[in-house]
Chain A
Amino acid sequence: MAPKLHTNPNLSKHLKPLVWVINVIKELLKTSWRTTSGRIGLTIILIHIVLATVGHLFAPYSPTALNSNKAGDLISLSSPSWNFLLGTDQLGRDVLSRVMSGARSLILVSTCGTALGIALGSLVGMGSGYKGGRTDELFMRLMDGLMSFPSLLLALLILTTLASRPIDLPLIKPIWDELLIIFTIGFVNMPRVGRVMRSVTLSLKEMEFVQSARLRGEPTYYIIFREILPNTMTVVGVEASVRLSYAILLVSSLGFLGLGVQPPSPDWGLMIAQSRHYLVSAPWIALSPAAAVASLIIGVNLFTEGIRQARGLPQEDKP
């Protein structure tokens, strides 16, 4: 690949950020893999990713199909059997297929939301930290204001206000629900990421290489993106994996409250919410998505724990 990149210097220049990101991810995976927690966590995450990407090929039924027997009656609330490995729900839909296809939207939405949050937070945090003075003060007060809400409340407020005015563009209409949640997650994560990135920037900007870039007369955007940003990558990596676990928590909680992806699309949170009425007669409807969402978050947290252990970072928990 390398010689090819050299033939087009512009391409390699544009690909640079991508290369950083890939390197950071590689580095994080390696670091985490050195510890037992990391290995367990990564394995769990991997299983989830595989199920989310190719699971639908093996899913025995459509996640939204209402299954009925030969006589035409709905097979609702059927207990786990060979036909329905994890049973069926109140509408005769296959729980296994629903859990499998629910993984994809949850993982995709949480990851995109986290990425957006990291991007927005880095932009605000680095800009504000580098500029300093009044701008910094103003931005930080704004972030404080946003953080004076529990993240769930902030997400609820953003989501409800935006959700009631759908935009009628043909391209984004089918994924409007998902886009909304991604934006919400990104926005909620922004101030928390911003704080971290600001403090990193504050310490980096006093370093010699940044000072000399400034003396060379480089423009601000160059210093921020070319000098500071690459050196924050390790911090960004850890922060991203912490944020990801909160994002999954938040997305599934929103689903539970009925404000996530709208039915009939399968959503783990919503499945659990609806299963509450059938806890006595059909506990499997609740157990499968509960196990799925719990294992996914445990996996991500174990992964983060692994990085912290390997790097000797303190356990910090701030929702």
Chain B
Amino acid sequence: MAKFLIKRIGLIGITLLVVSLAIFTITEILPGDVAAVILKQEATEETLAQLREELQLNRPAHVRYLDWVGSALTGDLGASYVTREQISDVLPRRIKHSLTLALFALIFGIPLAIIAGVFAGIRPDSLGDRLVSTISLVGISLPEFVTGVLLMLLLSSTFHLLPPSSIMFPGETPLSRPLILVMPALTLTGVLFAYVMRMTRANVMDVMQTHYTRTAILKGLPLRIVLFRHVIPNAMLPTITIIAQNFGWMLGGLIIVENVFAYPGIGQMLLFSITKRDVPMLEAISLLIATTYALSNLVADISYAILNPRIRLT
């Protein structure tokens, strides 16, 4: 286990290093002068030179890269090209916003999905199962931006229940106006619900077929006890893994959802830094997302091994 952990974490480290180098190289070979892109119309020979000096663009690329890695490892991610703010000052607030949204969606979605999955799985092909399965198929099929816009249309434009966008004013936190969280969280939940529900359903169906469950039913235990004592604990094992995997996957959904609702999290920041060619910001956010994604996959694998001793991690 220790060996496995060291190997995996080492691999994640190498991957991140390669990824950071790749992003740096690619942005480096891009045509066009970063300074010119930032200044646009205000670009004169003088201001350009000044900005280049300020952003240290005159130094050779490999020196800048090594410099960046060195300071990144000590927690200094550099300053944004566009706003000139320190990234390590701006990013934590954004991360907090995104995390709030993600947790909100998980708290909403997971219990609901598990209940629906168990409900559908104990009676496969019943009317209830068909209904739940159809809902989940639609949930998987709808892109986040479609769900988001439909929710906006319904809850905000038609019934005026919720604010149409999740723009936050300076000094506000998502929790100070929880209403703005509802629609983004619901949108994220849509896909999450579908995945977790389908997995739970499949697992419950498997467990229902096992000998111990049949024995429990045949010896006359009430269904409630069979479910809570035998079926659910066993069916939950893979579901926990799926939740960990989905957490990483949700980050992709965050990019879309935050842009649909103008919610100020890392996803919105990412798109902003892409359109503005804010290389340090882009690099920081990409690495952050990649790290979270890799770590949640690692957690998924470990949880699977702990919950299921038959799996040996190598």
B256 x A286 contact (CB < 8 A):
no
- Taking CB atoms, residues of chain B closer than 8 Å to A256 are 143, 145, 256, 259-260
B149 x A279 contact (CB < 8 A):
yes
Cα distance A54–B197 in the bound complex, in angstroms: 39
**Quick check: is A249 within 8 A (CB to CB) of the other chain?**
yes
B289 x A294 contact (CB < 8 A):
no
Most chain B CB atoms below 10 A, which of A151, A276, A298: A276
B141, B152, B157: which contacts A294 (Cβ < 8 A)? B141
Cα distance A286–B151 in the bound complex, in angstroms: 12
B255 x A152 contact (CB < 8 A):
yes
Please, what's the 1-or-0 string for B280-314, where 1 marks a CB less than 8 Å from any CB in chain A?
00000010011001100100000000000000000
**Quick check: is B18 within 8 A (CB to CB) of the other chain?**
yes
**Quick check: is B69 within 8 A (CB to CB) of the other chain?**
no
Looking at chain B's contact residues, is the secondary structure mostly helix, strand, loop, or mixed? helix
**Quick check: is A287 within 8 A (CB to CB) of the other chain?**
yes
Which segment of A64-72, A124-132, A142-150 sits at the interface?
A142-150
**Quick check: is B27 within 8 A (CB to CB) of the other chain?**
yes
Please, what's the 1-or-0 string for A64-108, where 1 marks a CB less than 8 Å from any CB in chain B?
000000000000000000000000000000000000000000000
Q: A272-B149, A283-B157 are in contact. Are A165 and B141 (CB under 8 A)?
A: no
Closest to A153 in B: B289
Within the complex, what minimum Cβ distance (angstroms) separates B148 from chain A?
Answer: 9
**Quick check: is B32 within 8 A (CB to CB) of the other chain?**
yes
Most chain B CB atoms below 10 A, which of A259, A286, A305: A286
B141 x A301 contact (CB < 8 A):
yes
Size of interface on A: residues with Cβ below 8 Å to B: 45
B255 x A297 contact (CB < 8 A):
no
Most chain A CB atoms below 10 A, which of B23, B140, B152: B140
A149 x B290 contact (CB < 8 A):
yes
**Quick check: is B118 within 8 A (CB to CB) of the other chain?**
no
**Quick check: is A312 within 8 A (CB to CB) of the other chain?**
no
Cα distance A178–B124 in the bound complex, in angstroms: 43
Looking at chain A's contact residues, is the secondary structure mostly helix, strand, loop, or mixed? helix
**Quick check: is A189 within 8 A (CB to CB) of the other chain?**
no
**Quick check: is A252 within 8 A (CB to CB) of the other chain?**
yes
**Quick check: is B47 within 8 A (CB to CB) of the other chain?**
no
**Quick check: is B56 within 8 A (CB to CB) of the other chain?**
no
A165 x B30 contact (CB < 8 A):
yes
Which segment of A19-27, A114-122, A154-162, A231-239 sits at the interface?
A154-162
Please, what's the 1-or-0 string for B13-45, where 1 marks a CB less than 8 Å from any CB in chain A?
001001100010011001110000000000000
B30 x A319 contact (CB < 8 A):
no
Q: A165-B31, A283-B153 are in contact. Are A245 and B145 (CB under 8 A)?
A: no
Cα distance A287–B194 in the bound complex, in angstroms: 22
- Taking CB atoms, residues of chain B closer than 8 Å to A150 are 248-249, 251-252, 255, 289, 293
- Taking CB atoms, residues of chain A closer than 8 Å to B11 are 141, 144
B142 x A297 contact (CB < 8 A):
yes
B window 124-167: CB within 8 A of A: 137-138, 140-146, 149-150, 152-153, 156-157, 164
Q: A297-B141, A298-B137, A314-B202 are in contact. Are A276 and B286 (CB under 8 A)?
A: no
A317 x B199 contact (CB < 8 A):
yes
Cα distance A319–B152 in the bound complex, in angstroms: 26
Cα distance A141–B140 in the bound complex, in angstroms: 29
Cα distance A294–B148 in the bound complex, in angstroms: 12
**Quick check: is A8 within 8 A (CB to CB) of the other chain?**
no
**Quick check: is B195 within 8 A (CB to CB) of the other chain?**
yes
Cα distance A245–B138 in the bound complex, in angstroms: 12
Most chain B CB atoms below 10 A, which of A151, A160, A165, A305: A160
Closest to B37 in A: A164
Within the complex, what minimum Cβ distance (angstroms) separates A30 from chain B?
Answer: 22
**Quick check: is A240 within 8 A (CB to CB) of the other chain?**
no
**Quick check: is A59 within 8 A (CB to CB) of the other chain?**
no
- Taking CB atoms, residues of chain B closer than 8 Å to A269 are 143, 145
- Taking CB atoms, residues of chain A closer than 8 Å to B198 are 315, 317
Q: A273-B145, A298-B138 are in contact. Are A153 and B294 (CB under 8 A)?
A: no
- Taking CB atoms, residues of chain B closer than 8 Å to A279 are 149, 152-153, 156-157, 164
Cα distance A107–B138 in the bound complex, in angstroms: 19
**Quick check: is B274 within 8 A (CB to CB) of the other chain?**
yes
A149, A287, A294, A305: which contacts B293 (Cβ < 8 A)? A149
Closest to A276 in B: B149
A151 x B252 contact (CB < 8 A):
yes
**Quick check: is B49 within 8 A (CB to CB) of the other chain?**
no
Cα distance A170–B104 in the bound complex, in angstroms: 51
**Quick check: is B55 within 8 A (CB to CB) of the other chain?**
no
A276 x B152 contact (CB < 8 A):
yes
A290 x B31 contact (CB < 8 A):
no
A290 x B274 contact (CB < 8 A):
no
Within the complex, what minimum Cβ distance (angstroms) separates B266 from chain A?
Answer: 11
B140 x A301 contact (CB < 8 A):
yes
**Quick check: is A253 within 8 A (CB to CB) of the other chain?**
yes
Extra A-B contacts (11), CB below 8 Å, given A152-B252, A294-B143: A145-B15, A149-B286, A150-B255, A245-B141, A252-B143, A252-B145, A253-B256, A256-B260, A272-B145, A279-B149, A317-B199
Q: Could you write out 14 A-B pairs with CB less than 8 Å apart?
A: A149-B286, A149-B289, A151-B252, A152-B256, A153-B289, A156-B270, A157-B23, A157-B26, A253-B145, A275-B149, A276-B149, A293-B143, A294-B138, A297-B143
Across chains A and B, which 3 residue pairs bring their CB atoms closest together, nearest first?
Answer: A150-B252, A152-B252, A297-B141
